Structures are given as structure tokens and as C-alpha cells.
Amino acid sequence: MSDKSTTKSEGKVAIVTGSSRGLGRSTALNLAERGVDVIVTYHSNHAESDAVVAGIQALGRKAVALPLDSGDVASFDGFAAGIGRALHETWGVERFDYLVNNGGAGHAAPFAEVQEADFDQLYNVHLKGVFFLTQKLLPLIADGGRIVNISSGLTRFAFPGSSAYATMKGAVEVLSRYMAKELGPRGIAVNVVAPGAIATDFRGGAVRDNPEMNKQVASVTALGRVGLPEDIGPMIASLLSDDNRWVTGQRIEVSGGMMI
């Protein structure tokens, strides 16, 4: 990390959804290392979000944690109001600078066995939630800000059992291009980061805890191993920095060369 990048990021405020664990946690901490303050969101585990807040504060940055159910559009008015209060009370400002739409959960089932309820839940969290949460927060995003939506390598390569999840992520990639076009007049850059298989508790920790799956993923990855959260968080933090101010409307895969 260069002093130049840190200086340019100093005083910025980011919202990272689903940042109490996994990729979101890594992103939040890496942003803090670059001089960015962070609003952490969590769904149910307040203790984990408090630990992330403490980690950010230990790096000399400000942070608060707010609850968010990213699949409940009706709750977004209250969440946006909470963001407004936090910005005023903690930072004395009316706008934040970066939004990372990371929150979500996995799903695994063969196409022929996907249940409508599971499909609807994925849709609500990964697509409808991203669409309308970003829309709701638009008045609070600073002109010249940046948005990163999280997709998946599964939109490029197909693994049986991921049809419903990958469908939502594919839609997010299309949505992101439209957001980049329509928010461009405000100077807001919008990009997609598409991780490959990462060793987290996602989908019950399958990649992390299943030796057979871990070995399989490593065997089809150019760099010879599965990904780690620390392979993703620094990349997102870098993408949000001013060094990448001219990058928008792009899908950037971070998979170690999986399935190439």
C-alpha cells in the first residue's frame, strides 16, 4: 500500500454490507488500512460485527455497525435513516463515498430440485435487495463515489448445483452495467467483482472444510489453490481507491485463474 493511495482515501466513508465475516470482513478491514472509515452491516451476529468494528478502530479509523436484512426491501427506509443518523453523529457529514453490496448467502441444489421458496430468497437478497438498497441509498452517496457489486465466477463457468445462485449473480452483472451508465453523470463508478471459490463459511464452509472439494478447486485453478478472503478484500479496497477512478462498468474476476 502506498502513502499516495492512503492520502487520497483519507476521510472517506464506506458501507460494506455483510461485513461481519468472510469477504465483507476482509474488505472492511482492508479499507480501514487504506484510511477509509466503515459502516459495517450484519444480519444476525452482532458480536461478530462488533469485533470487526473493534478491528477497524484498532487501525485508527472510525466505524459503526448497523443491522440489515438485505432481502427485506420494506426495511430499507429504516436502514437509510440509520445511515443518515450515523453519518451525522459519527462523522458530521451527510454523504458517504463507497458502497460494497456484498451481503448474501449461498445455495446448492440441482436445477431439477430447486424449490420456489429458495429461488425467491436468492432473488430477494442477491438481486432485488441490491437493486433497491442501492436505489434507496442514492441520495446519500456522494457525487464521485464508487459502488462495487459482488458477483461470482459461476457466471462464467458452470458447476452443477449452482443454477439459481449463478442466475442472480448474472443479473447483478447486467444491472451493474446499467448503474454505471445511469450514475455516470454524477461521477459514480460502478463495477462488479466476481470471486472464484473461496475458503469461508459460505455454503456451510464447503470449499474450506471439504478436502475433496478443496482439492478439486485447486486442480482447476491456475495458481494451484483455493482462494482466501485476503485474496479478495485488498482487491476491492484497491478498486475503490482513486488509483482506479477511470474504471467503471467492468466485471473483474478474482479467481486465481479458475477454469481458464
Question: Which residues are known catalytic residues?
Answer: 165
CA 164/CA 160 separation, integer angstroms? 10
CA 187/CA 40 separation, integer angstroms? 24
SS (H, E, C) the chain: CCHHHHHHHCCCEEEECCCCCHHHHHHHHHHHHCCCEEEEEECCCHHHHHHHHHHHHHCCCCEEEEECCCCCHHHHHHHHHHHHHHHHHHHCCCCEEEEEECCCCCCCCCHHHCCHHHHHHHHHHHHHHHHHHHHHHHHHEEEEEEEEEECCHHHCCCCCCCHHHHHHHHHHHHHHHHHHHHHHHHCCEEEEEEECCECCCHHHHHHHHCHHHHHHHHHCECCCCCECHHHHHHHHHHHHCHHHCCCCCCEEEECCCECC
Nearest to 136 by CA among 72, 79, 221: 79
